[in-house]
Structure 1
Amino acid sequence: MSPEFKRQGALKDPASYPAWLQQVLHETSDARKLIVGHQIFAGMRDATLNAREFSAFFVNGWPVVEQFPQYMAMNLLKARFGRSEGEDMARRYLTRNIRVEQNHAEYWVDWAAVHDVSKDKLLQADGPPAAFALSHWCWTGGSMDQLASSMAATNYAIEGVTGDWATLVCSTPSYEESFPPPIRKKAMRWLKLHAHYDDAHPWEALDIIATLLGSKPEKKSVDDVRNSILTSFSYFKASLDCCL
């Protein structure tokens, strides 16, 4: 059994986490940068995406946004009260955030609507299979994988990188100012909720992962966490590529 881990340093300082997890963050950083640096988000920031690209972005991303509370609910089923500190942390985190994610689905629908993408079009999910690989992966992980690797795939990788790209899009006023003033608040609500440099949720997930696995977990457990993060980033990029 791996020695227990209890974080002593700041939540958002990578040095506060075990050496194995710091190495995982390093080994997945390039894949994360490919998402944030994707031309879809640069075009969104600069208000240069065309209508077809925006439509594909909303349709391709909708299954993950809509299902995210369900991924968390499946992980909640894996966390038994009192069995370990990590599982207790996961129960509190997941219970608190599931309802928040449901609201985000509604805001995504509002955001898509200002680009003339209807809720019916989102629900039809008309796109290439690669566009929806990310949602299939998250569902499979949520239903079958261990709690640590499944949370790494969703609450750390996807939620974390989404904060990064949303912050990038909001880093200049170009996109927001492309909307008439009366609809700007509605158009930007989803983005602004996610565009926070200080968002704690992905770091809280990282803390849970470290607490679940301890300071020196088995190699397989480390590999599972690393591969889950990399797979999420890979499928995320594939979905974005399908928008072009």
Structure 2
Amino acid sequence: MSYPDAVSQGTALEEVPVSSLRNEIASRRYQPAALKLTPHPLWMETMLSSLKPAWDAACMPALFRETAEGRHPPLRAWQRFLVRCFPIVENFPKYMGLSLAKTTYGVRAGDASIRRWLLQNLGVEARHAEWWIDWMQAVGVDAPGAFKAPWAPEVQALHQHLLATCLAGSLAEGVAASNWAIEGVTGVWTRAVLEPFTAYARDGVRMDATALRWLKAHARYDDAHPDEALEIIKLSTDVTTGAPARVESAARRSLMLLARVFESCHEA
């Protein structure tokens, strides 16, 4: 019996189960459809195949590969990595905000779902910069000093690409450059280094839940985000205008620049 029926028939409100009222309300509430994974069209399969070498290079550069294999690179390489990559972590929600600004509500098919996904993802990103700082401090990095450190040229190049693409590019280009390329690669390397990284405890790294929170969070959930980002790209790409080539170019440049950032941390 619904709430209106209960009232009209003189049934006391407290006799109507709370769960029934909640279900009644939920059934009437408008919610954009969640993003669902679908088979890739040929153009996307071709794009992913073309991008695979750049993807592989960004996922497992020397620092991550040696750590994953238990070869224990010098801690200073990880310290350098954490300092250099902080600007990208701190700015990542800002790149996504520029993509969010391109969404509509009901004007284009799928846009409300994309908007909802970006907002939920932004909520997840809310504390990631703070968690990264916890990681930095655990390995002996002076956080205030890191905030003021000059950006490496490789980091500046990646930041400028992400900023320009998410600001002036299409929604699909921005999502490909940031949410697919950057988040996707992050999910791969964090899963590879999470357990081997604990070997650094003997170098004075504080291996507690706070220190590893950023690593654990990204190793846990970033496997879903790249696939969902591909759905956004499919929903927002007009294949009749040559847009797939621009999307591929934006993603490729992100992967190449990200790989250079990672390699610079190991080589310095």
Question: TM-score if structure 1 supplies the norm length?
Answer: 0.86
Post-superposition CA distance 1:143-164 (Å, at most 9, x none): 1111011100001111011101
How many pairs align?
Answer: 228
- Tell me which of the two structures has the higher relative contact order, counting C-alpha pairs closer than 8 angstroms and 6 or more residues apart: 1
Aligned partner of 2:261 in structure 1 is: 239
Output the CA distance in 2 between the equivalents of 1:203 and 1:34.
19
Post-superposition CA distance 1:98-135 (Å, at most 9, x none): 12112111111111111111221331233431233112
Q: Does 1:223 pair with 2:248?
A: no
CA contact 1:109–1:118 (8 Å) conserved in 2 = no
Aligned partner of 2:146 in structure 1 is: 122
CA RMSD of aligned residues (A): 2.1
CA contact 1:155–1:205 (8 Å) conserved in 2 = yes
Q: Does 1:166 pair with 2:193?
A: no
Aligned partner of 1:64 in structure 2 is: 88
CA contact 1:163–1:197 (8 Å) conserved in 2 = yes
Aligned partner of 1:148 in structure 2 is: 172
Output the CA distance in 1 between the equivalents of 2:49 and 2:86.
29
Q: Does 1:32 pair with 2:36?
A: no
Aligned partner of 2:156 in structure 1 is: 132
Larger Cα-atom Rg: 2
Output the CA distance in 2 between the equivalents of 1:136 and 1:117.
25
**Matched residue type, 1:44:** T
Post-superposition CA distance 1:198-235 (Å, at most 9, x none): 73111111101101125xx0352011110011000011
1:104 paired residue among 125, 128, 136: 128
**Share of identical aligned residues, percent?**
32
Aligned partner of 2:227 in structure 1 is: 203
**Matched residue type, 2:245:** D
Q: Per the alignment, do residues 70 and 95 of structure 1 end up closer, same or farther by CA in structure 2, a change over 3 Å counting?
A: same
Output the CA distance in 1 between the equivalents of 2:154 and 2:106.
40
Q: Per the alignment, do residues 30 and 197 of structure 1 end up closer, same or farther by CA in structure 2, a change over 3 Å counting?
A: farther
Aligned partner of 1:6 in structure 2 is: none
- Structure 1's unaligned 5+ residue stretches are 1-9
